[in-house]
Structure 1
Amino acid sequence: MSVHDQAAVAVLSQVALAADGAVLGLALSYIAVRSVIKYKTTSFALNKVKKAPSVSVSDLRSVLSNSSEHDADTSSSSDEKLVIVRGVVETKSAVNGNWKKQNILVSHESNEKAVILQRTQTCIYNEWRGFFGWTSDFRSLFARHWKQQETSSLRTIPFILVDGGHWPQSDYLTVNLDGSKHPLPLTTVYHNLQPISASPYTFLQAFFGHEYPVGLLDEEKILPVGKEITAVGLVSLKNGTPEVSACNDLPFFLSNMNKAQMVMELDFRTKVLFWSGIVVGSLATGILGYAIVRNWNRFKEWRQRRQIQRQNAAEENNEAEADVAAEEDIGEVPEGQLCVICLMRQRRSAFVPCGHLVCCPRCALSVERDLSPKCPVCRQTIHSSVRIYES
């Protein structure tokens, strides 16, 4: 790790441990809350996938008809049913009778037939900390997505799922991708990384610590015809033909996994989120509790210091007044009225509760500050002293 990286990590650690770890505790609390929310969502999706029937394409009509009869008996208005269907990808034109003019996509690199074609071009950037590039340390920590710039194009054609090994196909399931943001089970058929030649402008970018391109990555992914996949979604009859659409409550729509694999993966996610929420939540609670106790003790110490400072200021004022009074008292004092402690100033302060008038204000104040203040005459414990003024 370089010196700049160590400095950046040190700054982040100081921010995280600020206020006795309160910032770190709040960050862990946020992670724990997010884990709990994701746990609820994943657990809900797991229950739905477990309850969803797994059928073949040829059995869809019977399942939907039974569902419609059940809905009619229960006076339900829902026409969609969550179903898991395993089938083989085929173009929709193959079942429409257009054998000679099939609407199909062909990969530019591998010449494979597909129903989904995605081409991605990624410009990969590198960064050298030049003479003026010290700010790149923080930019690299908070904006790593700036390192890559990606352009992607996606082409799709209408496609269906059919039962494998049966031809001609009489039953099929139309796949509706509208509104779906789920990941697609695409296969990479082309992957090429080309270096970018440096130019004088590249040298200037590197000299001043800016990002500069070093490579260009071209990828091509397809959903090939004849691939067996699983569709998890809401199935309904559209013009007498079953059609499946994505369910936003589920993390899957089109996948290479079957139902058992999906249940296993969701169950694993649920356990990880559950225990991570408990561990991180407990850690956050402990750190926040420690930070609260520490800050509360600091607040009490600060309040005590403030009280002590105020008491010291009041005592200094009393001492100043006593000094002034003592200066006034110094002079020709009768022998019977001298302070029994200093024998210099006149007796002006009476002790409470004994009432003996034997000390000057300054000596009375010093007697009051003792750990166990007692009257110098009767040795009775005193609480305070009162200045006596002569009329």
Structure 2
Amino acid sequence: MSSPDRAVLSLLTDIFLSFDGAILGVTLAFGAVRAASKYASTSAALNKIRDSPEVSVSDLRSLIPPSDDESSHGSIVVVRGTVEPKVTGDGNHKNNVLTSQETGEKALIIHRTQTYMYSGWKTLFQLSNGHRFLLERSMPKQGADFMRMVPFVIVDKNQRSLRSSFLVVNMDGARQPLPLTTVYNRLQPINSSPYAFLQALFFPEYPVGMLDVEKILPPGRDLTAVGICSFNNGVPEIKSCQDLPYFLSDMTKDKMILELMDNTRVIFWGGVIMGCLSVGILGFAAVRAWNRWKLRNHQREPRQRPDQSMVDDEIEDADEIPDGELCVICVTRRRIPAFIPCGHVVCCRLCALTVERRSNPKCPVCLQSIRGSMRIYYS
């Protein structure tokens, strides 16, 4: 681990453990709440997928009869089939296929990302070791993101003709990850300018390369569509359900259920562990704060109680005090405590307490340093 990583880790540890770990407890409590919310949503998605029927494209009409009501929302179904381009008006689907510019492969969806790789010199000020110039690790930053797609449908695996049953895929509003295949991946270095040295010296970061990645969805691929199926002008259509984590996937329904069950199990126990830890840490911090508050009040009580008891004890016999037993400082109250270690009894309790509270307490008679006082009882 490098020096900056250790410094950041030490700083985060000090922050989380401050206030007796209260910040760490609050963070774990927030994580537990987020885990509970995620567990609820994942469990709901699991139940929806488990209860949804798994049908073929040809059985959709018997399962979901066409309705003239355009406002009907349809029902969630799981359809396994092969993706094919949608047929155009002239019966030809060749024009509805995209071609990759890099590989020349046919595709229904093309997703291309260009990510710039940054690097640079940064100054890390450390009081113990002075100035250090450390090379920053390469940081990927998004440069451009291009997405192209054409209308496509899902047909049965053994069916290649689009004149029979097919299911139109509506990609509007779909946010689930798509099962795309990477066909082009290249890291292109960026040529440095004549001022590269000055750029590296004065700028905290500068681009050193560009990662160009292209992913496609080829026709003829077997996929599973999970979404809301309805009829649009008599044609079956499926669109994504925002409550589900899948829309188009390579997994079958059984694999989706198994994956969601594992996710719910991990999220549940993770939330339970974080909740128990947060309760324990927050309880420990509350007990420590309560003990400190009681200790602070206990330390204040000896300063207040003796003063009151002094006045009560000394007012009772103030009129009958002989001259030889009067305090040498105030000359109004009786001499009661003896200084330690000299043993002189020359002050009343109030004046003795005042002497003890000085930065360098000394006996008023012998000027010897004292460590405290002790009350003397005469029998």
Q: Is the 8 A contact 1:234 1:244 kept in 2?
A: yes
Deviations 1:119-172 (A, max 9, x none): 1111011233347898999xx8xxx99741231110111111111222423000
Cα shift at 1:3: 2.6
Aligned match of 1:260: 254
How many angstroms apart in 2 are the aligned matches of 1:122 and 1:37?
A: 33
- Relative to 1, partners in 2 of residues 1:9 and 1:200: Cα closer, same or farther, differing over 3 Å? farther
Alignment of 1:220-299 (within 5 A): 220-299=214-293
Deviations 1:354-387 (A, max 9, x none): xxxxx99937998xx999x89634xxxxxxxxxx
Letter in 2 for 1:362: C
The corresponding residue for 1:60 is 60
Tell me the equivalent position of 1:362.
Answer: 348
> Equivalent residue of 1:273, what SS?
helix
Q: Which residue of structure 1 lines up, in the alignment, with residue 116 of structure 2?
A: 123
Query: Which amino acid in 1 is paired with 2:297?
Result: R
Q: Which residue of 1 aligns with 2:104?
A: 111
Which residue is 1:376 aligned to?
Answer: 378
Sort the Cα spacing of 1:259 and 1:346 in 2 relative to 1 into closer, same or farther, 3 A.
Answer: closer
Change (3 A) 1:41 1:129: same
Q: Cα distance, 1:318 vs. partner?
A: 5.9
Please say if 1:153 is aligned against 2:146. Answer: yes
- The amino acid across from 1:99 in the alignment is N
Q: Deviations over 1:158-206 (max 9, x none)?
A: 1111112224230000011111111111111100011223334442343
Which has the higher mean CA deviation after the structures are superposed, 194-203 or 183-192? 194-203
| Structure 2: segments with no counterpart, 5+ residues | 336-344, 353-371
Q: Is the 8 A contact 1:88 1:162 kept in 2?
A: yes
Equivalent residue, structure 2, for 1:173: 167
Distance 1:131 1:306, change over 3 A: closer
- Residue 46, structure 1, aligned to residue 46, structure 2: yes
Q: In structure 2, the residue corresponding to 1:102 is in which secondary structure? A: helix
| CA-to-aligned-CA distance 1:261-317 (integer Å, 9 cap, x gap) | 1001000000000110111111111111111111111122122223334457x4799
Q: CA deviation at 1:214?
A: 1.8
Which residue of 171, 177, 192 corresponds with 1:198? 192
Question: Does 2:296 match 1:302?
Answer: yes
**Is the 2:327–2:347 contact (alpha carbons within 8 Å) kept by the matching residues of 1?**
no
Contact 2:72 2:230 in 1 (8 A): no
Structure-2 separation of matches of 1:311 and 1:364: 11
Q: Deviations over 1:208-264 (max 9, x none)?
A: 461121211111111111111111000001000000011011001111111011001
Deviation by residue 1:62-93 (Cα, 9 ceiling, x = unmatched): 1102x97xxx9xxxx85401000011111112
Q: Which residue of 2 is the match for residue 85 of structure 1?
A: 79
Paired residues for 1:66-77 under 5 Å: none
Would you say the 8 A contact 1:16–1:24 is kept in 2?
A: yes
Between the aligned partners of 2:6 and 2:102, the Cα distance in structure 1 is 45
1:303-357 CA distance string (max 9 Å, x none): 2223334457x479969x99xx99xx88xx5xxxx64999xx89979xxxxxxxx
* Structure whose CA Rg is larger: 1
TM-score scaled to structure 2, two decimals? 0.77
Query: 1:103–1:346: structure 2 CA closer, same or farther, 3 Å change rule?
Result: closer
User: Could you say what secondary structure the match of 2:122 adopts?
Assistant: coil
Task: Give the match for residue 9 of structure 1.
Answer: 9
Residues 205, 17 of structure 1: CA spacing in aligned structure 2 closer, same or farther, 3 A cutoff? farther
Residue of structure 1 in register with 2:359 after alignment: none
Shift of 1:99: 2.0
How far, CA to CA, are the matches of 1:50 and 1:11 in structure 2? 46
Q: Do the aligned partners of 2:119 and 2:138 also contact (CA within 8 Å) in 1?
A: no
More helix by share: 1
Distance in structure 2 (CA, Å) of the matches to 1:181 and 1:361:
85
Give yes or no for contact 1:132–1:209 (8 Å, CA) kept in 2. Answer: no
What is the aligned counterpart of 1:162 among 128, 152, 155? Answer: 155
Percent of aligned positions that are identical: 44
Alpha-carbon distance in structure 2 between the residues aligned to 1:100 and 1:271 = 45
Task: Note the aligned Cα RMSD (angstroms).
Answer: 3.9
Classify the secondary structure of the residue corresponding to 1:17.
Answer: helix
- Contact residue 347 and residue 360 of structure 1 kept, 8 A: no
Q: 1:4 to 1:308 in 2, by over 3 A?
A: farther
Q: Per-residue CA shift, 1:21-64, capped at 9, x if unaligned?
A: 00111111111111111011101100000000011111111110
Aligned length, in residue pairs:
338
